[in-house]
Structure 1
Amino acid sequence: MKKRNRLSIAALLAFLLSACSFSLAEDITPPPGLQQQVVESSPVPVSTEALFPLVAPDPENGAAIYAQSCAPCHGETGLGDGSQAAELPNPPAPLGDLEFARSSSPAEWYTMVTRGNLDRFMPPFNSLTDSQRWDVVAYSFSLSAPPEAMAEAGELFQANCASCHGEDGSGTQDGSDLTDLEQSAAQTSEDFYQIISQGLDSMPGFEDELSDAERWSLADFTRALGFASSARMVAQVTPTPSETGEAVEEPGAVTPEVEAAQEITSGIIRGQMVNQTGEDLPDDLVVTLHAFDSMQLAGTYTTTISADESFTFENIEMSAGRIFVASTEYNGAMYGSDIVTVEEGVDEVSISIPIFGTSADTSVLTVDRLHLFFDFSIPETVQIIELYLISNPTDRTVVASEEGGSVLTFDLPEGATNLQFQDSVLGERYIETPEGFGDTEVVPPGMGQHQVLFAYEMPYERGIDYQKEFDLPISDVVVLLPEIVVKFKSDMLDDAGSRVIEG
């Protein structure tokens, strides 16, 4: 008989106020339909002065991460119009809005990605490495500063700033290093605009020499100089020898290497399935290729595998710096390749997609963290939201024991009604069971990648005794509830403090 874990919580009504302070919780994904009535208050300040990356963030690497993890809410162009935005109680931040981006610093956005933002019901992304978080921050800033605008700003920089700060912004004896994110990660474009306009220490102001639009353009460019793409931006606008009066070869006298690089306009992506299933893959298995160029989604292509489980994409543009990611769906699971970046002069790229064998043994799965939200905004009712972050530490994808069956099952407390899901409904991904519901989605290998988020309602008068049993071992349980509205008791949980949330 399977051993089950029990959690017991008692919540008693204290008194109702419109302002709510919530018990501290992290790694939280926006719960469906959650609404809290709160009054304005000052959030707990979080210092970002000491936050900076050890290596220059690369927005091109961040493009693929953004497409997978951020675009569903924030939208492809960062205007808050993603496919899941309508499901959120508050609109996602408009990262691609120029005014919004100018008021934010890289350190602030890095903090949001790392810790989440409960004010906006944004989850943290602790599954990303430190460098990946900085990369996606760099890409997010690029959404409001397209390459054309950066090229024009680069010309302004060369004409007005390079003599002191260097052509690449790395500084000279007369000017500071603008690429040093240890000094600038906490600065916004608004901060740089003020310095450019008014000057700082020995640096003169340019309020009389440059228009307002030109100073803002320079501020955006300066903020981006610490990113890896800044070298490419500067290279595009650095004066050529003819512009500086130096000797230059006659037109057409280019070196063979440069001419060859210019001739490469298309190439081939050769891929291979790394088949760990122990069985042949179907001949019609579809592979999808996503291309990212200049930090934007440049194209999507599809093909099928060959008899030897290889695949080929032909006549694909191979511009230097372009990023490719390939993926496929097999037996209900998505599998993807590593990110591949095209180098200068390359017209053929190799890529591989691992596909794992399957197992119906759910005992190998663990719940890294369970989040419980208690919402008392509906009279005589409590809405309970449960979020599971599940890991599969093995090299096999966990599947249902029978076709069309549940991979995992979740019991609901007696009296639970109005069951809701974040990403599906009963009859699709989720199916009804006698005690609750089952999740039919398979669980591929990976740590903390599988999420299940659902909500339900229970009657509430002056108290509730909440008890649940769980099939999987749980490392941590985090509870979020209005501490002024209710009193909370449990012998199994510790108080982690509180946080004030603004609506």
Structure 2
Amino acid sequence: MRSLWEISIILVMILSACGGLAGEPEIVATMPVSQSAAHTQTPDVLPDTMPNLEMGAVVYQTNCVRCHGESARGDGELVLNGQIPPLMDFNSGERQAQSSPVEWFDIVTNGRLETLMPPWSGSLSNTERWAVTMYLYSLAYSPQQISAGETIYQASCAECHGENATGTSEAPAIAGIFERSDSAAAQLIANGTANMPAFIDFSAEEITNVIAYLRTVGSGTLSSDSGAEIDEAIEPTLGTISGTVINGSMDGVIPQNMVVQLHVVDRSFNEQIIETRLNSDGTFRFDDILIDPNHGFVATIFYQGSYFTSDFIPGDFGMTQIDLPITLYEPTNDPSVLRIEEITAQIFADAESLQVVEIITLTNMSDHVFIGEEAISSPDRITLQFPLPEQATYLDIGDERYRISDDGQFVMDTQAVLPDKPHIVHLGYTLPYDGSVILNQQMPYPFAGMINVLIGTDGVVIQSNQLQPLG
């Protein structure tokens, strides 16, 4: 591991013959990876039950919209302003036909370098990653398809596989729902197996509808027509939402009499906030809360300059109690607890300018939350500062989390860095470019990982004594 407080990335870029934008960015150089930053395979862990699509929708809106767009059509603001390459439309169904949910889950977990997709294995739980995976996978299915598929399934499949596809004594639950693409699942239904007859009388459309139903059954479907009928037939219940606040810092204490907020979020992402006080033993409780399957719940607390949150839990019919524990941490402003684990830079060039987009992944090695010393406006503080290269102009990505210094030389991140979770920073800037340029960028925190450089313009050549060329 490099022990330098500051690492300087020096690249010489020469435009040998500008051929326009390449279709897929080429990974042209990389700094050797440390053992801690090596790619790990996705654990062979499949969900025991169908992931909850409402949870997936919240995860998506919280973490993915700026790249993939509000409706997941690949038209997020970072795509529209050219900072990342065009992305797929999850609503089209083309990728669902070609690849399985477990392949999508692997991308969510480990990221995809060539499209600047960061890994979410450290930021999202296994449950949250499966939820957002299946939420995106299900976007290609219409309510009409799901409803038609349920009718066919109940008439032709439920007797053996069970009303909700969970299995009976006659046949097990539907197998391979996560491991097969839509095309592979369609072939299985049409051709059968040694233990299941071939459904040769089903049309291609009917098979597609059955698959749509199987992908969403029991998953809190956001748009199922049959679900709307159930909503009217079964009344939501009043219940209790409670939790315990613990301090994850060894020298920490449990705050007394602090405000805990319960955020109730509906399917349209409208929010209601209810408040209570923390008890002396660190517990909190909200009574007589309407636990509706159309709502999700998350608890937050503000402590020592930072917000701390529970997991997001969707409601369900018959649910009368939800547990929302919160872990908070004591603050620190000691930068020695930080490590840069990975830097991925994508470079585009035209005749006059060079555009650089970076994803910087940091880790907080301590058991304290890292916050900055300088307050901007409550509750924002300058947490991290990254100097821009000389003559660089900051690309505003429209996220209020980031600020630019008055002199235009530093990009400032206001988000606190939690312990043991990847902290991802998006950074973009342009440089004047007349055929060649030297890019010298300082990284002000200890570096312990990999640097990847991707070229998005044909004809650009990189020269560097620090990076190793690939291919």
Q: TM-score, normalised by structure 1?
A: 0.68
- 2:178, 2:318 → 1: CA distance? 33
Q: 1:305 aligns with which of 267, 273, 276?
A: 276
> In the TM superposition, what is the alpha-carbon distance from 1:359 to its structure 2 partner?
1.6
Tell whether the 8 Å contact from 1:267 to 1:347 is kept in structure 2 after alignment: yes
| CA 122–447 in structure 1, closer or farther in 2 if over 3 Å, else same | same
Structure 1 unmatched runs, 5+: 27-47, 231-235, 238-261, 498-503
Q: 2:62 aligns with which of 62, 68, 81?
A: 68
> In the TM superposition, what is the alpha-carbon distance from 1:441 to its structure 2 partner?
0.8
> In the TM superposition, what is the alpha-carbon distance from 1:489 to its structure 2 partner?
2.6
Q: 1:125 aligns with which of 120, 127, 132?
A: 120
Q: Per-residue displacement from partner, 1:158-197 (whole Å, max 9, x unpaired)?
A: 322345656565779998x66322xx54533344445656
Aligned to 2:426: 453
Aligned to 2:11: 9
> In the TM superposition, what is the alpha-carbon distance from 1:8 to its structure 2 partner?
2.5
Aligned to 2:209: 217
> In the TM superposition, what is the alpha-carbon distance from 1:382 to its structure 2 partner?
1.8
Aligned to 1:23: 27
Task: Say how many residue pairs are matched.
Answer: 430
- 2:111, 2:333 → 1: CA distance? 34
| CA 384–143 in structure 1, closer or farther in 2 if over 3 Å, else same | closer
Aligned to 1:481: 455
| CA 166–59 in structure 1, closer or farther in 2 if over 3 Å, else same | closer
> In the TM superposition, what is the alpha-carbon distance from 1:392 to its structure 2 partner?
1.4
Equivalent runs, 1:261-410 vs 2, <5 Å: 265-274=237-246, 285=259, 287-290=261-264, 300-306=271-277, 308=279, 311-318=284-291, 324-330=297-303, 333-340=306-313, 346-376=319-349, 378-404=350-376, 406-410=382-386
| CA 287–494 in structure 1, closer or farther in 2 if over 3 Å, else same | same
Aligned to 1:35: none
Aligned to 1:155: 151
Tell whether the 8 Å contact from 1:393 to 1:445 is kept in structure 2 after alignment: no
> In the TM superposition, what is the alpha-carbon distance from 1:10 to its structure 2 partner?
2.5
- 1:120, 1:385 → 2: CA distance? 11
Aligned to 2:181: 188
- 1:316, 1:147 → 2: CA distance? 30
Tell whether the 8 Å contact from 1:57 to 1:135 is kept in structure 2 after alignment: no
- 1:148, 1:272 → 2: CA distance? 43
> In the TM superposition, what is the alpha-carbon distance from 1:23 to its structure 2 partner?
1.4
Aligned to 1:419: 394
> In the TM superposition, what is the alpha-carbon distance from 1:302 to its structure 2 partner?
0.8
Residue type of the alignment partner of 1:408: L
Tell whether the 8 Å contact from 1:383 to 1:457 is kept in structure 2 after alignment: yes
- 2:150, 2:20 → 1: CA distance? 50
Tell whether the 8 Å contact from 1:102 to 1:188 is kept in structure 2 after alignment: yes
Q: Percent identity?
A: 24
- 1:415, 1:76 → 2: CA distance? 34
Give 1 or 2 for the bigger CA radius of gyration.
Answer: 1
- 2:430, 2:110 → 1: CA distance? 28
Equivalent runs, 1:103-252 vs 2, <5 Å: 104-116=99-111, 122-127=117-122, 128=124, 132-145=128-141, 150=146, 152-163=148-159, 169=165, 179-181=174-176, 185-193=178-186, 196=189, 203-207=197-201, 213-223=205-215, 229=219
Is the partner of 2:151 in helix, strand or coil?
helix
Tell whether the 8 Å contact from 1:12 to 1:488 is kept in structure 2 after alignment: yes
Tell whether the 8 Å contact from 1:407 to 1:441 is kept in structure 2 after alignment: yes
Tell whether the 8 Å contact from 1:367 to 1:474 is kept in structure 2 after alignment: yes
Residue type of the alignment partner of 1:327: T
Tell whether the 8 Å contact from 1:409 to 1:436 is kept in structure 2 after alignment: no
- 1:140, 1:97 → 2: CA distance? 11
Structure 2 unmatched runs, 5+: 31-40, 221-225, 228-233
| CA 272–300 in structure 1, closer or farther in 2 if over 3 Å, else same | farther
> In the TM superposition, what is the alpha-carbon distance from 1:364 to its structure 2 partner?
1.0
| CA 25–288 in structure 1, closer or farther in 2 if over 3 Å, else same | farther
